[in-house]
Amino acid sequence: MMYEAQRALASPVRNPRMATVIGRLLGAAFLVCFGTGLYSHFLQEPQDWMRFATRPEYLYQVTQGTHIIAGIACFPLLLAKLYIVFPDLFAYPPLQGFVHFLERASIALFVGASLVQITIGLLNTYQWYPWPFPFRQVHFALGWVLIGLLVIHIGVKLPIIARYWSKSSGSGDDSGDDDHLVDAVSADRASHAEAVRLSGASRPGGVTGRVLDYIDATPQVTSRVSRRGFLTTVGVATTAVVGLTAGQTFTPLNAVNLFAPRKKGVGQQGVPVNRTSEQAKVADAAMASSWTLTLAVSGTERSFTRAELLALPQTEVRLPIACVEGWSQMANWRGVRLRDLAEMMNAAPETAFRLISLEQRGSFSKTQMGSEYVRDPLTLVALELNGETLDLEHGYPARMIAPGRPGVLQTKWLSRIEAIS
Amino acid sequence: MTRPDADGSGHETSRLGMRAHKNAVGPNPGDGSTERVGNGLNPPPAGITPSSGRRMRNIRLVLVGGGVLLMAWGALVMFDSVRPARIPGVALWIAAAIVLHDGIVAPIVLAGGIALRRAGRRITGTVVVIVQSGIVVGSIVSLIAVPTLVAKNFAPANPTVLPLNYGLNLGIFWVVLAAVTVGLSVWAFLRGRHPAETFPDDSGR
Ligand code: HEM
């Protein structure tokens, strides 16, 4: 029965060369996701010794944009890969001892965890969270698990991967090493069909026999056409899902942004919004005339009203807001350099700061900023956005904007900035 | 529905991996062929040739060992950062993903492919492949687009989240895709009627 199933599943695209070709693309996409994901993680949860690059100022836009682009490319690639190796599900005997069991179990976990990882990642960008666990922690842990499983998988399959890595390793003709394999499959089908025909009335009995008979009566597609068709399909599908969503971060594709969860320029003052003042419950405190921004450095505190901040030297910068969810939006910001404020408070150059929002709850109501950002001339306490007073949804009365950091760390509705000793 | 030819190589073939793969091309292609598809993907043992064998085995051991460590670290991170009560939910989702794919999606794709080929009995294989391709591309794009429609129903937190008319966009996409698929199919069909000039291997069917 298992052999019959495998036979029915035979197809010119289900071969080790194709598994290698698609597998290495998928593996590369996983590694890119993991690398960019780790970068995003450590930006948000830095170890003490970590310092980050502040240039190019669109660095995080690129890394996280790439994370989501490569992540979305995983959908067609993973499905293609699973399509290729599907017959392995019916390997017979199903288990050949403990090592084989471990191998199959690791593959099952690999498949399941990969599907979960890309699904929760995608839905997270839609701000839809239908799962019973915390996204960030699970996505992070699964990232490690998946990379581990990927490395194990490569180790287990290494001889096959090595053998089928390059096209020329086999018979040398244009269609690759696996040709004989495929021809044999065709021959198999042809001979089976022939046998059925010759045997006349004695058609194969049983459900499986009938099903196989039905399948054998389908038109033959040559292996070359099948393979090219398959690769073209994967290529077109990947191009489509990426091309029709990447416009949310990659401006040249803005015009064909049909399916991304964000659209450039859509939002107050031309900038999309993530956390709203309503969600953060800050509207009253932010609009109060008594609002001040307090700076605290080694025991000294000083409070600034918005008017006082506006009276200080103003700097205009052009920086993107780049969200962990992969969208980004370039904008013009105007405000006071954080560096100037730090100097005014006599903070030592290597001082890191804690940024505190009016928001009482929420995981990013208090965040930290390393000295490399504090000292950067592009880092502002922003008071204006795209030529207007900062909208409440963008953090009025004052917010942070710094180069190369995720949006969650560009603290809105600032209330207090204190030196970390 | 037992194994058609019990030549005793069932176990051996898979153990020998690639070598068996080559040999089986010979006398009994009918039996060996599909098996090789499976076996080609099964783990062959280290040491295809004795000289490269030891190095290959060492590399593989390092990879498998390193992978196990990475996985263990991931598990540690999971147990460290996720409340224990939430972890069964993760396991459930992973199990459900396997069942959903292997038990539902894959068989449907398979049946669809067979039905399409069957329906296209009198058409050239190339046209069948093009139509199949169009359907697959449309399905994958729909796979990432349809959740936006669902998520939009839950009233996103603010109007800048999911701001597009995704239903309309998906409709436009399918129309364009269908037009391209039909166009290509007609082109391939016309070409296929003059096999000598074109796809030489397609005519040899
Ligand atoms: C195998 C593929 C993937 C791997 C290995 C991976 C890995 C990671 C890692 C390690 C992080 C950092 C988590 C943290 O900050 O603690 C991350 C963040 C993220 N990933 Fe992925 N990811 C993958 C696929 C995806 C996909 C397909 C999407 C969406 C289309 C996605 C969306 C996100 C988002 C939105 C974040 C930001 C989370 C946050 O900081 O709130 N990921 N990913």
Identify whether B72 is part of a domain: yes
Cis peptide before A261 (omega within 30 of 0): no
What values do phi and psi take at A412, rounded to 5?
-95, 165
Whole-number pLDDT of residue A247? 96
- Its sign, for the CA torsion A159, A163, A164, A165, is positive
> Which of B3, B57, B64, B135 best tests the A interface by mutation, with the highest count of A CBs <10 A?
B64
Lowest mean pLDDT among A198-212, A290-304, B108-122: A198-212
Which pLDDT band holds residue A216 (cuts at 50, 70, 90)?
low
Rounded to whole angstroms, how far apart are CA atoms B77 and A138? 9
Section A33-49 average pLDDT: 95
If asked whether residues B144 and B165 sit together in one domain, one would say: yes
Q: At what angle do helices A59-85 and B125-153 cross, to 10 degrees?
A: 130
Whole-number pLDDT of residue A91? 80
Chain B touched by A50 (CB under 8 Å): no
Percent of chain B predicted with pLDDT > 90: 48
How many A from CA of B138 to the centre of ligand 1?
A: 25
Our CA-based measurement puts residue B183 at a distance from the nearest CA of chain A, in whole angstroms, of 16
Chain A touched by B195 (CB under 8 Å): no
Give the CA-trace dihedral at B78, B81, B83, B89, to 10 degrees: -40
Section A13-23 average pLDDT: 92
If asked whether residues B36 and B1 sit together in one domain, one would say: yes
Residues in chain A within 8 Å Cβ distance of B41: 16, 19, 85, 87-88, 157, 160
Checking if the pLDDT of A248 tops 90, the result is yes
The answer to whether the beta carbons of residues A266 and B163 sit under 8 Å apart is yes
Residues in chain B within 8 Å Cβ distance of A187: 29-30, 33
Section A349-364 average pLDDT: 92
Rounded to whole angstroms, how far apart are CA atoms B79 and B73? 10
Query: If we measure between CA atoms, which residue out of A83, A116, A112, A255 comes closest to residue B139?
Result: A83
Closest partner residue to B67 (CB to CB) among A92, A155, A241 is A155
Chain A touched by B104 (CB under 8 Å): no
Assigned token pair, B180: 């391209």
Identify whether B177 is part of a domain: yes
Query: If we measure between CA atoms, which residue out of A25, A281, A63 comes closest to residue A150?
Result: A25
If asked whether residues B24 and B64 sit together in one domain, one would say: no
- Residues contacting residue B5 through CB under 8 Å, at least 6 positions apart: B28, B31
The full DSSP string for A250-288 is -GGGGGG--S-S--TT-SGGG---SS-HHHHT-HHHHH-
B62/A155 CB distance under 8 A: yes
If asked whether residues B131 and B198 sit together in one domain, one would say: yes
How many A from CA of A38 to the centre of ligand 1?
A: 9
Whole-number pLDDT of residue B53? 83
- Give the domain-ending residue among B81, B103, B129: B81
Section B84-103 average pLDDT: 94
Residues in chain B within 8 Å Cβ distance of A257: 164
Checking if the pLDDT of B1 tops 50, the result is no
Lowest mean pLDDT among A53-67, B87-101, B124-138: B124-138
Chain B touched by A88 (CB under 8 Å): yes
Checking if the pLDDT of A341 tops 90, the result is yes
Residues in chain B within 8 Å Cβ distance of A159: 17-18, 44, 46, 48, 56
Which pLDDT band holds residue B30 (cuts at 50, 70, 90)?
very low
pLDDT digits (tens, 9 = 90+) for A76-85: 999 999 999 9
Rounded to whole angstroms, how far apart are CA atoms B203 and B186? 17
Query: If we measure between CA atoms, which residue out of A398, A386, A362 comes closest to residue A268?
Result: A386
Section B43-55 average pLDDT: 59
Closest partner residue to B86 (CB to CB) among A4, A132, A274 is A132
Whole-number pLDDT of residue B43? 46
Which pLDDT band holds residue A183 (cuts at 50, 70, 90)?
very low
If asked whether residues B155 and B196 sit together in one domain, one would say: yes
How many A from CA of A138 to the centre of ligand 1?
A: 10
Q: Specify the higher pLDDT residue, A414 or A3.
A: A414
Whole-number pLDDT of residue B117? 78
- Look at ligand 1, atom 15, and give the residue with the nearest C-alpha: A41
Closest partner residue to B140 (CB to CB) among A1, A76, A180 is A76
If asked whether residues B132 and B197 sit together in one domain, one would say: yes
The answer to whether the beta carbons of residues A63 and A40 sit under 8 Å apart is yes
The full DSSP string for A287-341 is H-TT--EEEEETTEEEEE-HHHHHHSPPEEEEEEEE-TTS-EEEEEEEEEEHHHH
Which chain A residue is nearest to residue B77, measuring alpha carbons?
A141
Identify whether B113 is part of a domain: no
Which pLDDT band holds residue A64 (cuts at 50, 70, 90)?
very high
Section B35-60 average pLDDT: 60
Whole-number pLDDT of residue B198? 40
Q: What class does CATH assign to A2-170+226-243?
A: mainly alpha
If asked whether residues B31 and B57 sit together in one domain, one would say: no
Our CA-based measurement puts residue A221 at a distance from the nearest CA of chain B, in whole angstroms, of 5
Chain A touched by B140 (CB under 8 Å): yes
Identify whether B87 is part of a domain: no
User: Within 10 Å of residue A309's Cβ, how many Cβ atoms?
Assistant: 18
Rounded to whole angstroms, how far apart are CA atoms A385 and A268? 10
List the domain range (segments joined by +) for residue B59.
49-81
Highest mean pLDDT among A7-16, A27-36, A281-290, B21-30: A27-36
Percent of chain A predicted with pLDDT > 90: 75
Same fold, A2-170+226-243 and A270-420: no
Section A141-164 average pLDDT: 96
Section A294-305 average pLDDT: 94
Rounded to whole angstroms, how far apart are CA atoms B131 and B127? 6
The answer to whether the beta carbons of residues A324 and A407 sit under 8 Å apart is yes
Whole-number pLDDT of residue A4? 72
- Residues contacting residue B72 through CB under 8 Å, at least 6 positions apart: A148
Q: How many CB pairs (< 8 A) connect A and B?
A: 334
Section B163-188 average pLDDT: 95
If asked whether residues B37 and B53 sit together in one domain, one would say: no
Q: Give, for A374, the enclosing helix (H) or strand (E).
A: helix A371-374
Section A254-274 average pLDDT: 96
Rounded to whole angstroms, how far apart are CA atoms A260 and A246? 7
Whole-number pLDDT of residue A23? 97
Which pLDDT band holds residue A181 (cuts at 50, 70, 90)?
very low
Chain A touched by B112 (CB under 8 Å): no
Which pLDDT band holds residue A362 (cuts at 50, 70, 90)?
confident
Whole-number pLDDT of residue A204? 52
Chain A touched by B49 (CB under 8 Å): no
If asked whether residues B70 and B4 sit together in one domain, one would say: no
Cβ of A84 less than 6 Å from ligand 1:
no
Closest partner residue to B144 (CB to CB) among A72, A146, A152 is A72
B71/A144 CB distance under 8 A: yes
Whole-number pLDDT of residue A224? 81
Assigned token pair, A190: 């042809």
Rounded to whole angstroms, how far apart are CA atoms A57 and A172? 48
Which chain B residue is nearest to residue A182, measuring alpha carbons?
B33
Checking if the pLDDT of A316 tops 90, the result is yes
Query: Domain residues of chain A, as ranges?
Result: 2-170+226-243, 270-420
Rounded to whole angstroms, how far apart are CA atoms A370 and A355? 11
ipTM: 0.86
Q: How many domains does chain B have?
A: 3
Amino acid at A296: A
Amino acid at B61: L
Identify whether B112 is part of a domain: no
Cis peptide before A403 (omega within 30 of 0): no
Checking if the pLDDT of B163 tops 80, the result is yes
The full DSSP string for B22-40 is HHTTSS-HHHHHHHHHHHH
Which pLDDT band holds residue A184 (cuts at 50, 70, 90)?
very low
> Which of B5, B23, B41 best tests the A interface by mutation, with the highest count of A CBs <10 A?
B41
Whole-number pLDDT of residue B46? 44
Whole-number pLDDT of residue A89? 87
Residue ranges of B 161-190 with Cβ closer than 8 A to chain A: 161-164, 166, 169-170, 172-173
How many A from CA of A325 to the centre of ligand 1?
A: 9
For a ligand 1 pocket test, name from A33, A75, A144 the mutation site with the most ligand atoms within 8 angstroms of its C-beta: A33
Our CA-based measurement puts residue A275 at a distance from the nearest CA of chain B, in whole angstroms, of 8
Whole-number pLDDT of residue B155? 73
Chain A touched by B84 (CB under 8 Å): no
Rounded to whole angstroms, how far apart are CA atoms A248 and A271? 12
Checking if the pLDDT of B18 tops 80, the result is no
Whole-number pLDDT of residue A139? 98
If asked whether residues B150 and B77 sit together in one domain, one would say: no
Chain A touched by B85 (CB under 8 Å): no
Chain A touched by B121 (CB under 8 Å): yes
Q: What ranges in chain B are assigned the alpha helix state H?
A: 9-16, 18-23, 29-41, 50-81, 87-98, 106-119, 125-153, 166-192, 200-203
Query: If we measure between CA atoms, which residue out of A410, A397, A254 comes closest to residue A319?
Result: A410
Q: What ranges in A86-222 are assigned the alpha helix state H?
A: 98-125, 135-164, 179-198, 206-216
If asked whether residues B139 and B124 sit together in one domain, one would say: yes
Mean pLDDT of chain B: 75
Which pLDDT band holds residue B49 (cuts at 50, 70, 90)?
low
Identify whether B34 is part of a domain: yes
- Residues contacting residue A172 through CB under 8 Å, at least 6 positions apart: none
Chain A touched by B70 (CB under 8 Å): yes
Which pLDDT band holds residue A167 (cuts at 50, 70, 90)?
confident
The answer to whether the beta carbons of residues A224 and A215 sit under 8 Å apart is no
B141/A237 CB distance under 8 A: yes
Which chain A residue is nearest to residue B128, measuring alpha carbons?
A221
The full DSSP string for A109-140 is HHHHHHHHHHHHHHHHHTT---SSS-HHHHHH
Checking if the pLDDT of A320 tops 50, the result is yes
If asked whether residues B74 and B137 sit together in one domain, one would say: no
Q: Is A50 exposed, middle or buried (0-12, 13-18, 19+ CB in 10 A)?
A: exposed
Whole-number pLDDT of residue B50? 53
Indicate yes or no: pTM above 0.80: yes
Q: Specify the higher pLDDT residue, A216 or A362.
A: A362
Identify the three-state secondary structure at position A199: coil
Q: Does the domain made of A270-420 have the CATH classification 3.90.420.10?
A: yes
